[in-house]
Structure 1
Amino acid sequence: MSEITFQVDIAADRTRVHEALNSHDGLTGWWTTAVNREDEILFFDFPEAPEPFRLRRDRADRDEVRWTSVGAFPPHWSGTVIAWRLSDAPAADGTRVLFRHTGWPDEDPDLPPAAYTWGMLMTRLKQYAETGTPQPLFTL
């Protein structure tokens, strides 16, 4: 199986980064303006997507936020796991984020464009956590 991995140091404390990954205001501040929740299922709507992405929140503590894709759309995400591990940034005050999106079939043609999008999203997460200014990549 293949995976997408990024590491970024964010000049914000762990609580602020955790809130950006685990709250409605946080997620709409850097990812998409259309986020809904039913119990532990998060629904993410995107322009031109025929239905929302459905992600089950499996873990949301101080050190890790982890979701599993439980929807049929997009089909190449089905069963994949998205995780952010949070730790102290070693060189300065702030938070180190290790991002992983695992469970992709080897040589999946959708992996490269997904990796590109996640790279842009990690930049938006960093900007949002550091400034508090919403700049979601996707808006509806």
Structure 2
Amino acid sequence: MSHSIYFNLMINTDKFSVYRAVSEPEHLVNWWPLKCSGVPFEGEEYNFNFTDKYDWYAKVKSVQKGEHIHYKMIKSDDDWNPTTFGFDLEEKDDGTYLHFFHKDWPECNTHFKHSSFCWAMLLKGLKDYIEKGTIVPFEDRE
């Protein structure tokens, strides 16, 4: 049995702005990793660098510009390696409804629970980055 993390949140902007923030390295670094590289095309590799110790890689599993991007971890730690996470975007009258998932966790262990909390904090940071231009310094991100 695998475990999953799910969050939904409204972001008061258009879908393309949200898509860019979750797919383009120059925006990802403003709310998630310290450094990032990659291009949003299926099969392409992203580097999510948090520190020298946490220098992780993922492949784009599925992408549709302005609609969604899903990443499959390929080089991280034992808990994250089997996982896939992604962002599905739904246009609404008052903004974009973001459907986030991080699935296929092997265990509901301490790391899973910590990561769930971190994603909640990071997604709040994503919302604030898009809506207000707020950038939380990397060392202050969960």
TM-score range, shorter chain: 0.7 to 0.9
Root-mean-square deviation (CA, aligned residues, Å) is 2.0
Deviations 1:48-91 (A, max 9, x none): x51411111122322211000001x21100120101110023xx
Relative contact order, higher structure (CA 8 A, sep 6+) = 1
Q: In the alignment, which residue of structure 2 is the partner of 1:111?
A: 112
Secondary structure class of the residue paired with 1:77: coil
1:65 equivalent in structure 2: 69
Change over 3 Å in CA distance of 1:32–1:46 after alignment to 2: same
Please, what TM-score do these two structures have when normalized by structure 1?
Answer: 0.86
Structure-2-length-normalised TM-score: 0.85
Q: CA deviation at 1:133?
A: 3.7
Structure 1 gaps of 5+ residues are none
Separation in 2 of the partners of 1:32 and 1:107? 24
Superposition deviation, residue 124 in structure 1? 0.8
In 2, Cα distance between the equivalents of 1:60 and 1:20? 14
> Is contact 2:24-2:38 (8 Å) kept?
no
Identity %: 24
- Report the counterpart of residue 9 of structure 1 in structure 2: 10
Bigger shift: 32-41 or 117-126? 32-41
Where does residue 120 of structure 1 map in the other structure?
121
Match of 1:42 among 37, 40, 46: 46
Number of equivalences: 135
Task: Work out the CA distance in 1 between the residues paired with 2:25 and 2:137.
Answer: 12
Aligned residue identity for 1:67: Y
